[in-house]
Amino acid sequence: MKSAALISIGNELLSGETVDTNVSYLCRHLLLCGIPTVNIFTVPDEISSIVDAFEQATRRADVVLVTGGLGPTGDDVTREALAAFLKVELRFCEDLQEQIAGFFARRGFEMAPSNRIQAFLPAGARALQNSQGTAPGIAVDWQGRFIACMPGVPAEMKQMFSDHLNDYLKQLAGGQSVAARKLMCYGAGESTIASMLGERMERGRNPLVNSTAQAGLVTIHIVAAAAEQASAEQMVEHERAELCQILGNIIYGYDGQTMAEVVGAALADRGKTLAIAESCTGGLLGQLITDVPGSSRYFKCGWITYSNEAKSRDLDVDSGLLEQCGAVSEEVAQAMALGARKKAGADYGIAITGIAGPDGGTEAKPVGLVYIALNTINGSRCERFVFPFTRPIMRLRTALAALNMLRLEL
């Protein structure tokens, strides 16, 4: 079985300025290619340290993936370090320079002279095109090893990996085929899910089942290995079906789907439309909904009614009601949801009102309290939550809870 080593390059990774999320993305995707990662090296922007890492990495692994240090500035020396390790010179590539200049041109800029360095490649290496930025990647075969250098910017690295490396590495791995599936869960914690799944989550099992949690969402990873791709797929599918039996509607989607994608697809399928009114989330719910390409088919509009004035003016919330119950109340949430749906002429209206904090909480209405109302032609309902977290997490949990209410309604 082939193995991989990763080299993360950048002073910012060693100063603690940046958390290196590239490695977890690459480890996960390498595993899906059938190539486990055996070592990760994190080194500063120094030629000697990088060459040293190349030597150790190529000693340990068949595939070496490098991120960072391909930028145009003086402290970006990955290009030079790779050439030094390979003991070859850097060669200027006319067509590569044209690609880079083209990237600037499309944005209506002149290419800065310093970007010219990005058009140099170690002799014998090939460029990996970067559709998201100026820095081309570099790939080279060396003494039976495959080495690829990618930009450190996660969006650029991910695009480059799927454009140029994913399929290639799958082939390279040969032998054991690996199939994987993710189940996206909401409404139960990791430990609850673990106790529901019991010995299915034991280590070393094939298919392997484990979970990761983030901001109220739990992702269950299923990975199966077999001689044939088809049988690996079958094993994963069989496991998936059984887990769905056990977990029911805790599972909201698959393979990294967002709650907004699932809810959006359900709305589109039914030809229904949505309008929203947000107070404490201040636009976050709208942002999550419109993150989905094509959301204009079902998302009509939203109001960010951050003041009482706006709630009355734009959503016809009775100002007496605001006086009497307060902006953060079931009554006002209901009125906002109704107002949003009616004004927009939508099928569903969602409203959020709460206290994101850090200030503004009271004994009766603590920071983290939120009311979420869902209004439809057939009536409306409201749920009360308390998310006693930091402001950003409270806001994210609230938006997810709102989407989940609509998901279960649909």
Residues 146-185 that bind its own copies (CB under 8 A): 153, 155, 159, 182
**What are the structure tokens assigned to 400, written together?**
């997810």
Minimum distance from residue 399 beta carbon to its own copies (Å): 9
Candidate residues 80, 233, 237, 314; the one interacting with its own copies per rule CB under 8 A: 314
86 closest CA partner among 50, 61, 45: 50
Phi, psi (degrees; rounded to nearest 5) at 250: -65, -30
Minimum distance from residue 249 beta carbon to its own copies (Å): 19
Phi, psi (degrees; rounded to nearest 5) at 11: -55, -35
Cα 361 to Cα 2: distance, rounded to the nearest angstrom: 56
Q: Which is nearer to its own copies, 87 or 203 (CB)?
A: 203
328 closest CA partner among 279, 291, 295: 279
Q: Which is nearer to its own copies, 124 or 189 (CB)?
A: 189
The mark string for 238-257 relative to its own copies (x by CB under 8 A, - otherwise) is: --------------------
DSSP β-ladder status, 137-142 and 126-128: antiparallel
Cα 178 to Cα 192: distance, rounded to the nearest angstrom: 28
- Asked if 344 interacts with its own copies (CB under 8 A), we say yes
Candidate residues 136, 137, 216, 302; the one interacting with its own copies per rule CB under 8 A: 302
Q: Which is nearer to its own copies, 27 or 88 (CB)?
A: 27
Q: Which is nearer to its own copies, 14 or 90 (CB)?
A: 14
Q: Per CB under 8 A, which of residues 211..230 are in contact with its own copies?
A: 211-214, 219, 221, 223
DSSP string, 251-268: EEEETT--HHHHHHHHHH
- Asked if 16 interacts with its own copies (CB under 8 A), we say yes
Judge whether 80 and 47 are in contact, CB under 8 Å: yes
Cα 278 to Cα 299: distance, rounded to the nearest angstrom: 14
Judge whether 176 and 170 are in contact, CB under 8 Å: no
The mark string for 262-301 relative to its own copies (x by CB under 8 A, - otherwise) is: --------------x-x-xxxxxxxx-xxx-xxxx--xxx
- Asked if 304 interacts with its own copies (CB under 8 A), we say yes
Minimum distance from residue 356 beta carbon to its own copies (Å): 8
- Asked if 191 interacts with its own copies (CB under 8 A), we say yes
Judge whether 177 and 227 are in contact, CB under 8 Å: yes
Q: Per CB under 8 A, which of residues 76..95 are in contact with its own copies?
A: none
- Asked if 14 interacts with its own copies (CB under 8 A), we say yes
Cα 328 to Cα 351: distance, rounded to the nearest angstrom: 11
- Asked if 353 interacts with its own copies (CB under 8 A), we say no
